[in-house]
Structure 1
Amino acid sequence: VPKDSEKLDLYDEHEEIVSVRGKRVKRRGIFLLPNLLTTASLFSGFYSIISAIQGDFIAAGMAIFAAQFFDGLDGRVARLTNSQSKFGAQYDSLCDVVSFGLAPAISIFLWGLDSLGQVGWIFSFLYVAAAALRLARFNTNLGSEDTFFKGLPSPVAGATIAYYVWALSSVGIQGENLGFLLTFVSACLTGMLAILMVINIPYYSFKEIELKRRVPFFAILVVVFVFALIAIDPPLVLVSCAMLYTLSGPAIWVIKSLRN
């Protein structure tokens, strides 16, 4: 029988030591709002997997869009409400492995790479492994990737695959309709995204954009214009934006190399 000092707290087992005004303070429990948003991202990723298994790749892509929205929101909410924690950072990365690693890999495999047999699932697994490695590296470098990320962020890589599958599925291209050439291109895309996640190519993080800071009125018009474009053809516009960001990393690397 454990002593009173050794009894387990069944309701709250998480605690961490933080620095408050130069003093080390033990903080117990977790912050509700940012972790709820992270859980919403995890649910969206799980729903994407279920939709892909059922052959509904359009719903799978929409779910990843929702996951990306919640994933982008949880960190900003945590910073705005001063509710950042080590637990939240670790939980966010674990959820990202599911939503932006496993879910897109399953989606593109069931959508078309399964026709390649073992080669198809090897490409899918390599993508999942790269996403996990990318997130593990991010966790070990917390605070050092403020202006530029080192490697393609896994949410963008996952979104690129999900929107790519969504865009082609929306025009009836999936399964046997792919053909060998498009299947080969899809496998190459999956492999390329896996490589971009683990190499040290710089990607702009957008963390310097302050939501609380005043912006020109024209900025509101730009935001409205972007939303209008997305409304016209969501999968096409989203995959185009994801592809442009994916290519921006190699472009930045080339420019920096030429300057040096």
Structure 2
Amino acid sequence: MNEAPNDFPDSELDPHEAPARKPRKGLYVLPNLFTLAALFGGFYAIVMAMNGRFENAAIGIFCAMVLDSLDGRVARMTGTQSAFGEQMDSLSDMVSFGAAPALVAYEWALRDLGKLGWIAAFVYCACAALRLARFNTNIGIIDRRFFQGLPSPAAAALVAGSIWLAVDAGWGPQTHPWLSGVMVFITLYAGLTMVTNAPFYSFKDFSLKRSVPFALLVALVLLIALVSSHPPIALFALFCCYSLSGYVEYGRRRWKGRHASLIATSTDEPDEAGLHG
């Protein structure tokens, strides 16, 4: 009789039993379905912008933002996280919150500005790529309560929200030429804010399983009522406030003499006081 392989004790071997097959490698459907739906929202926004339907384009970006916020939570709740899902999510974010807002803004107001217009759109798109790459490489060495720089979905919402607000009011670059200059500012502001070190609250420490004060529930009801009353104005105002909150937090930390950034300049040796201060 042949000797048993060294990997198994003799008592566990059955000479008549076929060797066990390796489990098949597969993909989890549910979280990746949300990711693909978010990717579709970004693609839909690009197609709508190419056809001059900018309100639909803005709504597509907002839908992608909602779906993107769900895929990670669904994966954690169902225990279906995977490396494939993480990479898929990043690629989807690049399309929905990087390329799509830049192209929608360019088609709506930046095209007529010539070189300045496409440069502003490219800066936004490039900053979104840099922000996503930095986020992926800094996972585990940064305070999870805050984002380092404006999150790409919020930046996309700022750009798309401004377009949705103007279209809803019946304004356009043809009738109001100053809107092109405003769009350049918003696009550059959103793009460059993504790559700053300003700390933006991540809401990751908010748990649905944790008890909350009754006043918070009332505030959420009022927020939902406010947004539903007139979504273009409410959403644009909401994300304007959020896009400024990081600089307010940055200034507050500097005023108190604390570390203002979330991570050290060199990621090889992170400044622990800076991470949690």
Write the mapping of 1:89-104 to structure 2, written as runs, cut at 5 A.
89-104=86-101
Number of aligned residue pairs: 235
Match of residue 178 from structure 1: 176
127, 136, 139: which is aligned to 2:136?
139
Q: Distance in 1 between the 2:184 and 2:89 partners?
A: 28
Write the mapping of 1:21-36 to structure 2, written as runs, cut at 5 A.
28-36=25-33
200, 213, 227: which is aligned to 1:230?
227
SS in 2 for 1:175: coil
* Displacement after TM superposition at 1:256 (Å): 0.3
8 A contact 1:52–1:110 mirrored in 2: yes
SS in 1 for 2:174: helix
Percent identity between the two aligned chains: 46
37, 40, 54: which is aligned to 1:40?
37
Write the mapping of 1:75-114 to structure 2, written as runs, cut at 5 A.
75-114=72-111
- Write the deviation string for residues 165-188 of structure 1: whole angstroms up to 9, x where unpaired: 000011111231231x33112101
Match of residue 10 from structure 1: none
SS in 2 for 1:143: coil
Counterpart amino acid of residue 207 in structure 1: K
Match of residue 152 from structure 1: 150
- Write the deviation string for residues 63-84 of structure 1: whole angstroms up to 9, x where unpaired: 1111010011111111222222
Runs of 5+ consecutive residues of structure 2 not aligned to the other structure: 1-21, 258-277
Write the mapping of 1:122-133 to structure 2, written as runs, cut at 5 A.
122-133=119-130
8 A contact 2:172–2:179 mirrored in 1: no
Match of residue 211 from structure 1: 208
Q: Distance in 2 between the 1:159 and 1:107 partners?
A: 12
Runs of 5+ consecutive residues of structure 1 not aligned to the other structure: 1-24
Q: Which moved more, 1:202-211 or 1:25-34?
A: 25-34
Counterpart amino acid of residue 189 in structure 2: M
Q: Distance in 1 between the 2:195 and 2:226 partners?
A: 32
Match of residue 62 from structure 2: 65
- Write the deviation string for residues 199-230 of structure 1: whole angstroms up to 9, x where unpaired: 21111110000112223344333222211111
8 A contact 2:45–2:57 mirrored in 1: yes
SS in 2 for 1:173: coil
Q: Distance in 2 between the 1:187 and 1:52 partners?
A: 17
Give the CA RMSD over aligned residues: 1.6
Counterpart amino acid of residue 170 in structure 2: G
SS in 1 for 2:208: coil
Q: Whose radius of gyration is greater, 1 or 2?
A: 2
8 A contact 1:51–1:59 mirrored in 2: yes
Q: Distance in 2 between the 1:39 and 1:198 partners?
A: 26
8 A contact 2:64–2:96 mirrored in 1: yes
Q: Runs ≥4 in structure 1, deviation > 4 angstroms?
A: none
Match of residue 159 from structure 2: 161
1:239 paired to 2:236: yes
1:53 paired to 2:50: yes
Q: Distance in 2 between the 1:133 and 1:177 partners?
A: 35
Change (3 A) 1:101 1:170: same
- Write the deviation string for residues 47-67 of structure 1: whole angstroms up to 9, x where unpaired: 111111111111111111110
With the length of structure 2 as denominator, give the TM-score of the two structures.
0.81
* Displacement after TM superposition at 1:255 (Å): 0.5
With the length of structure 1 as denominator, give the TM-score of the two structures.
0.86
8 A contact 1:90–1:139 mirrored in 2: no
